[in-house]
A and B are shown apart, each in its own frame.
Chain A
Amino acid sequence: MVPSGRAFRGSSAVLIVIACLAWSTSLSHAQGASQKPASTTSEAGLAAWQQVYSVLTHPRCINCHTATNHPEQGDDRHRHLFNVVRGPEGKGVPGLNCATCHQSANADSTGVPGAHNWHLAPLSMKWQDTSDNILSSKALCQSLTDRSKNGSLDGPAILHHHQQEPLVLWAFQPGRRRDGTARSLPPLTHEEFVSATKTWIDAGTPCPQNP
């Protein structure tokens, strides 16, 4: 865990309350950062977004949000070994699917991570460019909140995704590597991540002005 995560933890309880109160008003705000809900300041929302961004761009998350024909692996985000490719549905190709190795749970005895329905995010949800450079905070935010790209998710749906999607949950319990060491974790706990997401959504999913 990085210090920023711990620092954030102190204010999260307050933010959750605010987020709940603001819930009903934030539904339509996924389109952009211009609209300001009453209950959360844009400043707090942007700060929360940076926290969310720090998780989304962590290798546990971004390795499967590539812009290329293949996923990435490891903290160095190297191209997935063994010629694994995206395939038509983001699940590889027949004979070499994600499920060829990745099962419904982490396989700690062999070091292969797993979770229900292991797959790549669709290209529309890419958070990298084709040279594997991570999108800027602004660009990723805009992409994430663009319902034409994000699978038509509105704010609550994004939150729900962050709360319950098995692959998101996996990122916070990523299991052990082949050598027995633990995979590195995103900079926030899952609770902190969900809380930050709520704050950000509550603030109307503001995106930074600058990259």
Chain B
Amino acid sequence: MSATPMSATPMLSSESGLSRRSFLRVSATAAGGLIVALYFDFPVHAQATQPKTYPPDAFVHIQRDGKIVIQVNRLEFGQGVQTSLPMILADEMDADWAHVVAELAPAGDVYKDPVFGIQMVGGSGSIAHSFEQYRELGAKVRAMLVAAAAQQWKVPGAQCRTEASVVYGPDGRSARYGELADDAAHLPVPENVPLKKASEFKLIGKDTRRLDSRPKCDGSMKFGLDLDLPGMKVAVVAHPPIFGGTPKSIDDKAARAVPGVMDVFEIPTISRGTAVVVVADKFWTAKQARDRLSIDWDFSRVEPPDTEQLRAKYKELAATPGNVAVSRGDLGVLDGVSAANRFEAEYEFPYLAHTPMEPLNTTIRFDGDHAEVWAGSQFQTIDQMAIAQTLGLKPEQVTFHTEMAGGGFGRRATPDSHVQREAAAVAKRCKGIPVKLIWTREDDVQGGYYRPMFAHRIEIGIGADGMPLAWRHVIVGQSLVAGTPFASMLIKNGVDETAVEGAVDNPYEIPNFTVTAHHPTPNVPVLWWRSVGHTHTAFVMETLIDELASRAKTDPIAYRRKLLKRDQTRLRGVLDLMDEKSASWRNHLAEGHAAGVACHESFGTNVACAVDVSIENHRPKIHRVTVALDCGIAVNPLTIESQFQAGTSFGVSQLMAKGAITFKNGYAQQNNFDGYTPPYISDAPVAVEVHIVPSTEKPSGCGEPPVPVISPAVVNALFRLTGKRYRTLPMLSL
């Protein structure tokens, strides 16, 4: 569902490595039953894992009562993998879905992403990378259960069939999976098993309700923040209000006087500064005490960020070429285009906070030679290593439980594990006591790790046919990965691919084309935000294409069809489907309404959308959205629909009047939802219809691809209402 470092290019091992380098391990458990684990031995790019040891973890546990517990190798934070991945496995296994239970796997090498080599959620890779893995697991378990039954009945396995957790023999005999599990656990794991044909899928492709709905509706679901351990304490942190600051002096008398306060002390923060921690019996106590701390901060060694200064600087940089990300044809052509057929456009995008609904938190109990961690993390193995490092342990001495998380959108995928390092520093001091470190919403909004600010400057020369002939594009914004372990993979020729993705690889036929990039380094920590570079590149590309269509007096859909590269068959397909499904309402818009369209591919998924917009209270009112998408095989269409219905709302964040984090003299000017406001129900689209292109292609993700298309489509519609182009976000007033 959220952003990753690996979004820009396909990289690391190909999935064909899976059969070559993976193996199944089988063990019987004390409780009885079959446990199967698929282990991988990939060269790990982002994280060293020597010496490699495998914990006794597993993917499938068939209990004697028939219950099938499936381990999900990903964080569940809304995107639905806790349902979709078990569906894939259960389908190949012919399991009775009613008996499937899903669990979030702890950190472990075995649960690393088969492509990325770390345990993570991001890059919309959960289904894309684990589809084959989970199918294979399911097929092998099924084969072992069949073999166990065949052995018992002394019949050839080939004559047995399976359905809904039952093996049927040729003579009408049958055995439930739960009855066969113990025997199956002692059989060898088959090397190669046939996988189902798409026509044989029973669960894959079928609308399937989420497994985690009921507990999320009756208050019984436990998120990381809900954890309660005996003797647990709560830590709240006073971070330097300008990144990198350190306390000159601390007066903690009033804080320590708050009943329930246990300790007040300093810890390092990852952004070079020093923070002050209050540990107390309860959250409210800790927060009261923190508010009573009187800290004189030293900012003498830090550069105070200032939005207005940065805007000016970025604008200046955008007027000069940066490092080349892509260059084709001859940009000299641009100078030959007459002034009437040339135009320039400057765009500005602000810092954006992720603000997942569940504030950031991590609980750690450190016992000297072992630590136990509970966290809703998108980067389990990276966080595990950071905690181990902070505590002077080896990663295998850190047990890391994956907790259900209340959203993330990239915010729980931090290469520097800054929250976990803070929590570990606190746990180290509070040895033997479990401590839950909680970032308040204020900490979250002011705490950095934002989608970077960006400026784009584009010069376009239009050909005689009304199509872009030459396109010079400069992108200015911080690198997400500079200084992280991901830098070597994602920074090429001085260009961070996550800053230019969606522009460099845009789907349009533009003969003379360059994109260059500058990566300034203001003192603001930044991070991938759901759909990463596409958040701004799709906005720029899709609004400019719309502008070109207007200038050419051509229908924006027809213009895109004409301009799409010939090989963009899937994008063309979704554009056609969107056109077909939205034509009736686009041709009968109410008075004061206008339609806007956009299309974009990200993370392998092609999306087109049309929106019906009017202006209410000086804001865009989005009455209707029609989305068409192609994500290959649609594993759970009900979840895909949900991702697109809701992901378009998430995308509207960019258009909110209070949709920006800004700095003045170093201080963030927003500190909660009153100053930085995500879409409420009245800001979000009223209706979103989702149409999925039928496909037998490999599945691609659906977490991030809904986000990029919505905001350009909305402002394209607004242009039709106001005649204005909106190139500076957030739009303060219409």
The interface of chain A, by Cβ under 8 A from chain B, is: 81-83, 180
Is there an interface contact between A81 and B674, defined as CB atoms closer than 8 Å?
A: yes
Is there an interface contact between B674 and A83, defined as CB atoms closer than 8 Å?
A: no
CB neighbours of A81 from chain B (8 A): 674
The interface of chain B, by Cβ under 8 A from chain A, is: 291, 674, 680, 682
CB neighbours of B682 from chain A (8 A): 83
CB neighbours of A83 from chain B (8 A): 680, 682
Distance, CA A82 to CA B674, complexed state (A): 8
Provide 6 A-B residue pairs closer than 8 Å at the C-beta atoms, listed in order of the A residue: A81-B674, A82-B674, A82-B680, A83-B680, A83-B682, A180-B291
Distance, CA A82 to CA B682, complexed state (A): 11
By beta carbon, the residue of chain A nearest B677 is: A81
Top-4 shortest CB links A-B? A81-B674, A83-B680, A83-B682, A180-B291
State the total of A-B contacts with C-beta under 8 angstroms. 6
Distance, CA A81 to CA B291, complexed state (A): 24
Distance, CA A82 to CA B658, complexed state (A): 12
By beta carbon, the residue of chain A nearest B683 is: A83
Shortest CB–CB separation between residue B675 and chain A, in angstroms?
A: 10
CB neighbours of B680 from chain A (8 A): 82-83
Distance, CA A83 to CA B683, complexed state (A): 10
CB neighbours of A82 from chain B (8 A): 674, 680
Shortest CB–CB separation between residue A106 and chain B, in angstroms?
A: 18
Distance, CA A180 to CA B287, complexed state (A): 14
Distance, CA A81 to CA B674, complexed state (A): 7
By beta carbon, the residue of chain B nearest A85 is: B682
Shortest CB–CB separation between residue B696 and chain A, in angstroms?
A: 45
Shortest CB–CB separation between residue A70 and chain B, in angstroms?
A: 10
Shortest CB–CB separation between residue A177 and chain B, in angstroms?
A: 12
Distance, CA A24 to CA B291, complexed state (A): 55
Chain A CB within 10 Å, residue with most, of B291, B674, B680, B682: B674
Distance, CA A82 to CA B291, complexed state (A): 25
CB neighbours of A180 from chain B (8 A): 291
Distance, CA A83 to CA B680, complexed state (A): 8
By beta carbon, the residue of chain A nearest B291 is: A180
Shortest CB–CB separation between residue B259 and chain A, in angstroms?
A: 15
By beta carbon, the residue of chain A nearest B658 is: A81
By beta carbon, the residue of chain A nearest B617 is: A79
Shortest CB–CB separation between residue B308 and chain A, in angstroms?
A: 21
Distance, CA A72 to CA B33, complexed state (A): 64
Shortest CB–CB separation between residue B510 and chain A, in angstroms?
A: 43
By beta carbon, the residue of chain B nearest A179 is: B291
Distance, CA A82 to CA B680, complexed state (A): 8
Shortest CB–CB separation between residue A107 and chain B, in angstroms?
A: 13
Shortest CB–CB separation between residue B29 and chain A, in angstroms?
A: 48
CB neighbours of B674 from chain A (8 A): 81-82
Shortest CB–CB separation between residue B13 and chain A, in angstroms?
A: 48
CB neighbours of B291 from chain A (8 A): 180
Shortest CB–CB separation between residue A155 and chain B, in angstroms?
A: 39
Distance, CA A119 to CA B177, complexed state (A): 63
Shortest CB–CB separation between residue A111 and chain B, in angstroms?
A: 11
Shortest CB–CB separation between residue A94 and chain B, in angstroms?
A: 15
Shortest CB–CB separation between residue A132 and chain B, in angstroms?
A: 13
Shortest CB–CB separation between residue A184 and chain B, in angstroms?
A: 18
By beta carbon, the residue of chain B nearest A69 is: B617
Distance, CA A180 to CA B294, complexed state (A): 14
Shortest CB–CB separation between residue A78 and chain B, in angstroms?
A: 10
Distance, CA A180 to CA B674, complexed state (A): 17
By beta carbon, the residue of chain A nearest B284 is: A109
By beta carbon, the residue of chain B nearest A78 is: B674
Distance, CA A82 to CA B678, complexed state (A): 11
Shortest CB–CB separation between residue B241 and chain A, in angstroms?
A: 14
Distance, CA A174 to CA B291, complexed state (A): 22
Shortest CB–CB separation between residue B621 and chain A, in angstroms?
A: 13
Shortest CB–CB separation between residue B599 and chain A, in angstroms?
A: 32
Shortest CB–CB separation between residue A124 and chain B, in angstroms?
A: 23
Distance, CA A208 to CA B674, complexed state (A): 40
By beta carbon, the residue of chain B nearest A109 is: B288
Shortest CB–CB separation between residue A110 and chain B, in angstroms?
A: 10
Distance, CA A80 to CA B680, complexed state (A): 14
Distance, CA A151 to CA B300, complexed state (A): 61
Distance, CA A74 to CA B238, complexed state (A): 27
By beta carbon, the residue of chain B nearest A81 is: B674
Shortest CB–CB separation between residue A101 and chain B, in angstroms?
A: 13
Distance, CA A122 to CA B87, complexed state (A): 56
Shortest CB–CB separation between residue B676 and chain A, in angstroms?
A: 12
Distance, CA A83 to CA B684, complexed state (A): 13
Distance, CA A109 to CA B291, complexed state (A): 11
By beta carbon, the residue of chain A nearest B674 is: A81
Distance, CA A81 to CA B680, complexed state (A): 11
Distance, CA A81 to CA B682, complexed state (A): 13
Distance, CA A176 to CA B680, complexed state (A): 27
Distance, CA A180 to CA B292, complexed state (A): 11
Distance, CA A54 to CA B610, complexed state (A): 52
Shortest CB–CB separation between residue A178 and chain B, in angstroms?
A: 9
Distance, CA A185 to CA B369, complexed state (A): 59
Distance, CA A90 to CA B291, complexed state (A): 35
Shortest CB–CB separation between residue B283 and chain A, in angstroms?
A: 13
Distance, CA A40 to CA B291, complexed state (A): 53
Shortest CB–CB separation between residue B445 and chain A, in angstroms?
A: 14
By beta carbon, the residue of chain A nearest B288 is: A109
By beta carbon, the residue of chain B nearest A83 is: B680
By beta carbon, the residue of chain B nearest A79 is: B617
Distance, CA A22 to CA B291, complexed state (A): 53
Shortest CB–CB separation between residue A24 and chain B, in angstroms?
A: 50
Distance, CA A142 to CA B659, complexed state (A): 42
Distance, CA A81 to CA B673, complexed state (A): 10
By beta carbon, the residue of chain A nearest B292 is: A180
Shortest CB–CB separation between residue B257 and chain A, in angstroms?
A: 16
Shortest CB–CB separation between residue A81 and chain B, in angstroms?
A: 5
Distance, CA A59 to CA B526, complexed state (A): 39
Distance, CA A180 to CA B254, complexed state (A): 15
By beta carbon, the residue of chain B nearest A180 is: B291
Distance, CA A83 to CA B657, complexed state (A): 14
Shortest CB–CB separation between residue A37 and chain B, in angstroms?
A: 46
Distance, CA A40 to CA B674, complexed state (A): 49
By beta carbon, the residue of chain A nearest B682 is: A83
Shortest CB–CB separation between residue B671 and chain A, in angstroms?
A: 10
Distance, CA A81 to CA B656, complexed state (A): 14
Distance, CA A120 to CA B77, complexed state (A): 40
Shortest CB–CB separation between residue B634 and chain A, in angstroms?
A: 35
Shortest CB–CB separation between residue A153 and chain B, in angstroms?
A: 33
Distance, CA A83 to CA B291, complexed state (A): 28
Shortest CB–CB separation between residue B126 and chain A, in angstroms?
A: 34
